[in-house]
Amino acid sequence: MSGGIVDQVRDAYRTEVGADPAGVWSAPGRVNLIGEHTDYNAGLCLPIALPHRTAVAAGARSDDRLVLTSLAPGLEPVEVDLGEVSPTVPGGWAAYVAGVVWALREEGYAVRGLDLVVDSAVPVGAGLSSSAALTCAVAAAADGVFGLGLLDTEAGRHRLVAAAMRAENDIVGAPTGGLDQTVALFGRAGQALRLDFRSGEMSAVPVDFAAAGLSLVVCDTRVSHSLADGQYAARRASCERAAAALGLDSLRELSPADLGRAEVVAALSAEELRRVRHVVTEIRRVDACVQALRDGDWDEVGRLFVASHESLRGDYEVSCVELDAVVSEALASGALGARMTGGGFGGSAVVLVPTERVDQVVAALTERFASEGWGAPDCFVVTASEAARRDR
């Protein structure tokens, strides 16, 4: 990533601090091709890193103060002492930033105060993991400024994943299963990552949409959502209760055939059974999608996208009317498949469409939103891109 927000945060740092930053680091947003709400159930996911990134210009201070500046409109600068960071301090957007530095110190790394200037091209509230792009960019910056060397090795990047997760879980109060942080720190250009949250295994899956004459379109409904509003946590708690009721460590241990067993049905409420059915079948859809991608069976990939959306809408109940409209309208306009992506309750959908029909599909979606009296969606083509890195 050259120019753009990298230059902006560097120049803003010079203005705010009166010196050059030690460097500029960035991390990507992500879109999950398939495998939703499976990470915290020890399941499988298949995300890609987006070309849209969050950039952080950073420099060390001689004290333990964090001086945080965001170039996003309406966000005020924040100052906080590292020793004061808690689930209530500093709160807001700064909690994501301060939480990462706090987590690294809690793990024994020699970090101290920082001047940080942040800007982002990742849409906020769109289900594209703007929060993980922020926390992982900050983690990369802290690593670089203090010479921790974690960004240089696979094991070190896993430690940065853990710090970013701890920031969200312990300081922000938004439970996260690790998918977003993992792809932000391990994504690869031209490849999806098959992530196994039971074994920790990662494997690359080539995704060359252009070579197949296809485009992956993200449609941001611009319906705001938040993982900290209780709905995500409620779904996660439901899965944990179901696993406990069945005497399992996680729902990963179930197969689709188990869903009809009398003892499984008897142990769960009707709602829990629906949640479990989504998780179990979604895990199977991930590997089916991996195989279809490797076979170049794009029609099957599209079918799996639609099946995933139907499960998320009906069994997991995390869709919304706008997301459902994107899926139905896209399919009617020639897309091979479409599904909501991310935590749900708004945000974005992914649409797999022949490249020559992209404009037609986007026009149909825009017209549908207008006819419903909704604000215009933001649709854009994405490719699989690179993980967190130093840019300057």
What pLDDT score was predicted for residue 233? 83
Q: Where are the alpha helices (DSSP H) in the chain?
A: 5-17, 93-106, 130-145, 154-166, 179-186, 231-245, 262-267, 270-295, 298-314, 321-332, 358-372
**For residue 2, pLDDT beyond 80:** no
Architecture of domain 5-204+386-390: 2-Layer Sandwich (3.30)
State what percent of residues in the chain have pLDDT above 90: 92
Q: Give the model confidence (pLDDT) of 152-181 as tens digits.
A: 999 999 999 999 999 999 999 987 878 899
Q: Is the pLDDT of residue 186 over 90?
A: yes
pLDDT at position 228 over 90: no
Instruction: Report how far residue 289's alpha carbon sits from residue 38's, in angstroms, rounded to the nearest whole number.
Output: 15
Which residue's structure tokens are 């854009």?
Answer: 380
Residue percentage of the chain with pLDDT more than 70 = 98
DSSP 313-375: HHTS----HHHHHHHHHHHHTT-SEEEEESS-SSSEEEEEEEGGGHHHHHHHHHHHHHHHTPP
- Phi–psi pair at 363, nearest 5 degrees: -65, -40
Place of tokens 């938004």: 174
For 40-92, strand residue ranges (E) read 44-60, 65-70, 78-81
Q: Quick one: pLDDT at residue 122?
A: 94
Per-residue pLDDT, averaged over 381-389, amounts to: 97
Q: What is the C-alpha end-to-end distance of the chain, expressed in Å?
A: 10
What pLDDT, in 10s, does the model give residues 89-111? 999 999 999 999 999 999 999 99
pLDDT-derived band at 229 (thresholds 50, 70, 90) equals low
Q: Specify the pLDDT at position 124.
A: 85
Dihedral sign, CA of 139, 144, 146, 147? positive
The predicted-structure confidence for 312-327, as pLDDT tens digits, reads as follows 999 999 999 999 999 9
* CATH superfamily membership of 209-382: GHMP kinase, C-terminal domain (3.30.70.890)
Query: Is pLDDT of 3 > 80?
Result: no
Instruction: Compute the distance between CA of residue 275 and CA of residue 377 in angstroms, rounded to an integer.
Output: 29
Residues of the chain with CATH 3.30.70.890: 209-382
Q: Mean pLDDT, the chain, as a whole number?
A: 95
When pLDDT is averaged across residues 255-276 and rounded to a whole number, the result is 97
Tokens 């599909």, residue? 361
Comparing 72 with 228, which gets the higher pLDDT?
Answer: 72
- Give SS3 for 33: strand
List active site positions: 180
Average of per-residue pLDDT across 338-352: 93
| 19 has pLDDT over 80 | yes
- Decide if pLDDT at 246 tops 90: yes
Q: Where in the chain is the domain with CATH 3.30.230.10?
A: 5-204+386-390
Bridge partners, residue 86, by sequence: 89
Residues 195-222 have pLDDT tens digits of 999 999 999 999 999 999 999 999 999 9
In whole angstroms, what is the distance from residue 3 CA to residue 245 CA? 53
Confidence of residue 1 (pLDDT cuts 50, 70, 90): very low
